[in-house]
Chains A and B, each alone.
Chain A
Amino acid sequence: MLKKALTVLLALVLVFALIGCGGGETPATEGEEGQAEGEALPGEGKVVTMITDTGGLGDKSFNDLAYAGLEKASEELGFELKILQSATEDDYAPNIQTALEDNPALIVCVGFMMEQATVDAAAENPDINFAIVDGVGDMDGDGQQDVDNLLGLKFKENEGSFLVGVAAGLTTETDKIGYIGGMEFPTIIVFESGFIAGVKSVNPDAEVYVEYADSFGDIAKGKEIATAQYNKGADVIYHAAGGVGLGLFQAATENDFWAIGVDADQALTSPENADNILCSMLKRVDTATYTAARSAVEGTFEGQVQTFGLAEDGIGVGDGGENLTEELNGEIEKWKAAIIEGQFTVPATREEVEAFEVPEI
């Protein structure tokens, strides 16, 4: 009798577990509101699927922004938006396979870590359109995209990081500044390089502590690194580490120093910490995914690389916490104008930082 009851209980638990695991896939907005009388929208009956990287939705940053852009496009165009979340790197390829089952108009893969998996899938499915956020799709390194059906969405993060570096360099009182990266990849070193160049441009005496968390999710480690940098005297810390950055914000609030957010306007997305978020380096992933979805649904999709920088309004500085002084804003605008005018090139690698000479503007 007892055994039977236990078996039933166990079966229920397993069913529950399956529901829980299936939680990754969520049909989002159907886009049926706001439709003019019966007029079909171009996206009607089409599916666009977004695959998150391991940071996952709710990072209040990268993945959430990509989602916001697609959600907006879905509302306007009426396609069905599906989300598949990747818990680990091993989920990329299976998630893409799952997405393919719907024969979608576009598969948006969020994050450069997924680049290889995306290129492989694009090569196997030449009739499906793919977009990769933060990647170009040139895995063999010949300067050409490996496949024709892939749209690479790139950002000049070095330009935005430069501007928040200017803000950090002018704000610090200890002349010590921290930087926390997620993983030590060239794509993340771009943030570091632009940031250091920005700091050096306005405050040559400032020292920048550079640390990598080797994770985009371990909040505790983020807080630990931020605390360590603070203990060494840093009073402004910038992060390019996804969820790890939440630990930085927590440390900033507890010890009352400045944090700088990344990708989204994190003073708005982490309102509990807004008083300690000086500003954020905005990466308009939403602009990019919106553009990509629109082109795919309207049939103007082209496999190519699109780069979004300060000039294209794909990069910017967000100050949702209203912590930037007028003077700082003026300085940021001044450097921004100089970059857009092409007066100098912002470094994107450590070698370029070494060779960087502070321009006269």
Chain B
Amino acid sequence: MWIVILPILASALRLATPLIFSALGGTFSERSGVVNIALEGIMVMGAFFSILFADFTGSPWIGVMAAILAGMLTALLLGVVSIHLQGNQVVMGTAINILAVGLTSYLLQIIYKRFGQTDAITNALTNNPTILAFLEKLPVVGKAFFSGLTPFVYLAFFAVGLSYYVLFRTPFGLRVRAVGEHPKAADTVGVNVYKIRYICVLISGALAGIAGASLTVGYTAIFREHMVSGKGFIALAAMVFGKWHPVGALLACLFFGLAEALSIQGSMLGIKIPTEFMHMLPYVATILALIGVVGKAVAPAADGEPYEKGEN
């Protein structure tokens, strides 16, 4: 019994990991009032640059650092346009998504001299981290569950805890939420709205960059065009479904991950769930959350609204 369930849970966690990082990124950005449609594009950048740097330096962790940097730089673009220039955040986010696909495809051809995909790296972070090797020795759960987890799975949970603490237990987090709800009021009491929003958009980029890295360096060991295949949008859906809360986002991502893991393993267990249904699930869940069927999801009040300093 457990021997069947545990691998499914491990699979669900692996599938949820990139979503968790990305959804946390979305939460930070939107809590501060910047809609981040660009998660998908930032993930593409993170996925590509992590493999690129891991391949050339031989160190997967340098790859992860590169993904964070690439993610932050991409997010900065969104920040400049939506914060300083008060441009339309959704339009800019969409532009970044298109840019990321084009840019990575272009760099792929320049650097690897071929279309479509990079070389595979040989030292991907796909095994249970060495410091936690003792977990694999546990009876039953060791081999069936812990041996299937990657370092990113643990990091994702750590990131959720940290995000919750920062957003809800620190003065900085209070400012972030204030800026996202009522930037003018925050400004009046001396909070630098632009600074807070920039910081949040950069955190968002870093997290979505890690999300991309967790897909490649942390799982497939190779980058291929179109491999992110909508995971950024599913993360966005998870963020809404999770009501712009780190723990909510975590639960939503685990739910989506479990649904996909079940659809993969289900047919072998004799349960046939149509894969089309599983593909609809994140979006159906989001719609249900938005129309209030599972408790109303309300966005931060100033989400998507550019803020102009000194406006009356």
Contact = CB atoms under 8 A, between A and B. Distances in A.
Contact of B103 (A2, A17, A243): A17
Given A13-B99, A17-B99, A219-B220, A212 B275 contact: yes
B84 A227 contact: no
Contacts of B109: 23, 26
B227 A220 contact: yes
Name the residue among B14, B95, B115, B221 with the largest chain A CB count within 10 angstroms: B115
Nearest to B15: A224
Contacts of A20: 99, 101-103, 105-106
A58 B102 contact: no
A24 B103 CA distance: 11
Interface in A10-27: 10, 13-14, 16-24, 26
B80 interface: yes
Contacts of A213: 275
Interface in A215-241: 215, 217-221, 223-225, 227-229, 231-232
Contacts of A231: 7
A145 to B, nearest CB: 31
A56 B11 contact: no
Interface in B115-130: 115-117, 119-120, 122, 126-127
Nearest to A22: B102
Given A56-B115, A56-B116, A60-B117, A220 B102 contact: no
A254 interface: yes
Mostly helix, strand, loop or mixed at chain A's interface?
helix
Contacts of B311: none
A246 B222 contact: yes
Report the interface size class on chain A: 35 or more
A211 interface: yes
B224 A246 contact: yes
A270 B121 CA distance: 12
Interface stretch (B60-68, B155-163, B199-207, B262-270): B262-270
B81 interface: yes
Interface residues of B, number: 49
A214 B275 contact: yes
Contacts, number: 141
Interface in A268-285: 270, 272-273
A272 B221 CA distance: 11
B81 A10 contact: yes
B11 A228 contact: yes
B137 interface: no
Nearest to A254: B126
29 contacts: A9-B80, A10-B81, A10-B85, A16-B99, A20-B105, A20-B106, A22-B102, A23-B102, A23-B109, A26-B109, A58-B114, A58-B224, A59-B116, A60-B116, A209-B268, A211-B267, A214-B279, A217-B225, A218-B227, A219-B220, A220-B220, A223-B220, A224-B14, A227-B7, A227-B148, A228-B268, A250-B126, A250-B220, A272-B120
Interface of A: 2-3, 6-7, 9-10, 13-14, 16-24, 26, 54, 56-60, 63-64, 85, 87, 184, 209-215, 217-221, 223-225, 227-229, 231-232, 243, 246-247, 250, 254, 270, 272-273
Given A211-B264, A228-B268, A243-B117, 8 more contacts: A6-B84, A16-B103, A18-B102, A26-B115, A57-B116, A228-B264, A231-B7, A250-B221
Interface of B: 7, 11, 14-15, 18, 77, 80-81, 84-85, 95, 98-99, 101-103, 105-106, 108-109, 114-117, 119-120, 122, 126-127, 148, 215, 219-222, 224-227, 229, 260-261, 264-265, 267-268, 275-276, 279
